[in-house]
A = this chain, B = another copy of it.
Amino acid sequence: MATIIPLEKQREVHRRQHSEALEVLSSLVAEDMAAVNQLIIQRMESRVPLVPELAGHIIAAGGKRLRPILTLASAKLCGYQGSRHHKLAACVEFIHTATLLHDDVVDASDLRRGGPSANALFGNQASVLVGDFLFSRAFQLMVEDGSIDVLRILSNASAIIAEGEVLQLTTTNDSTTSEQSYLEVIRAKTAELFAAACRIGAVVGARPAVEEEALRTFGLNLGIAFQIVDDVLDYSAEKLQFGKTVGDDFREGKITLPVILAIHRGNEAERAFWHRTLDEQDQRDGDLTHAQDLLQRHNALRDAIDRARHYGAIARDALGLFADHPIRKSLLDIIDFTVEREF
């Protein structure tokens, strides 16, 4: 006879299991990651003290280091034995950090991962310029590595990320944004760097094109799933554990998948509500709660997660090409961790 476990308890167990997935993957590349962290600290140095102060603030704020971990794990999955991937993983983290710094300026965010954002502490001016520095430093590291393939992959990804961010600007406060436009934005601004981070593992491992392509597919689709879930978390109360604030996207009028689904499924009055709150930025007490009610009523959060599962499935199949390996197993768990992390 199965014991009945309360729903809260089930969720708690589920959540713990999935957080553990990232810890397991981290532990598989722990030695490499230590080298990467050392490189990050070493290479954000500058004769201008404000540079490492500001960069150190955002990099120390932690985050999961998911992207460099993906580079390290992919290289390991490809049987790579050297140490080139340390520098390249640091590159990936620098590019990511540069975009975070610029994003926070563009979004005028005061918080990042539960603490004050760099722009709140050091000002927008320094954040823009230190972002530029980290970006340039990333390219210096790639040049030191010397692979034109890596340079191509990451310069292409960087241009696409910037385009994606501009595209997102033009969809913000436009509640008529289509699901397709949304997908194009998140693919560009988030998923391309995941894809690049993974591909680089195959490049340093000198693996055949088909494996590089498989890792690109894995990273791209994991990235899309990751961003959809991130956008869902912005409306779900339980995400406070991630050190974020509920309703940031709503307050800024960002048009994310849950909202797009609710708008498409809503009536005229509901569309008028979204138009007033998101496009005209006319927000009153109780509007966020009402928005959450509408998302609930139309199953928008649940169905957005379903969409994320689709991309998770593509990522999963992409790894089918690789032989059984603890890293492969762990990457598969990461997909689950990503898609289910809100429950």
A residues with a Cβ closer than 8 A to B are: 46-48, 50-51, 98-99, 102, 105-106, 124-126, 128-133, 135-137, 139-140, 142-143, 146, 148, 151-152, 155-156, 158-159, 161-163, 165-167, 169-170
Say whether A146 contacts B143, CB under 8 Å.
Answer: no
Give the residues in chain B near A151, CB-CB below 8 Å: 139, 142-143, 151
Give the residues in chain B near A128, CB-CB below 8 Å: 102, 105-106, 128
Give the residues in chain B near A158, CB-CB below 8 Å: 132, 135-136, 139
A99 vs B135: C-alpha distance when bound (angstroms): 13
**Contacts A50-B169, A146-B148 known; A156 to B129 CB distance under 8 Å?**
no
Closest chain B residue to A185, Cβ basis: B48
Give the residues in chain B near A162, CB-CB below 8 Å: 129-130, 132-133, 135-136
A125 vs B102: C-alpha distance when bound (angstroms): 9
**Contacts A102-B129, A128-B105 known; A51 to B166 CB distance under 8 Å?**
yes
Copies of this protein in the complex: 2
Question: Nearest chain B CB to A109's CB is how many angstroms away?
Answer: 12
Give the residues in chain B near A165, CB-CB below 8 Å: 129, 132
Say whether B126 contacts A140, CB under 8 Å.
Answer: no
25 A-B Cβ contacts within 8 A?
A46-B163, A46-B166, A51-B163, A98-B132, A99-B132, A102-B132, A105-B124, A106-B124, A106-B125, A125-B169, A126-B169, A130-B162, A131-B132, A132-B158, A133-B163, A135-B158, A135-B162, A136-B155, A139-B155, A140-B156, A140-B159, A143-B148, A143-B151, A143-B155, A146-B148
Say whether B129 contacts A169, CB under 8 Å.
Answer: yes
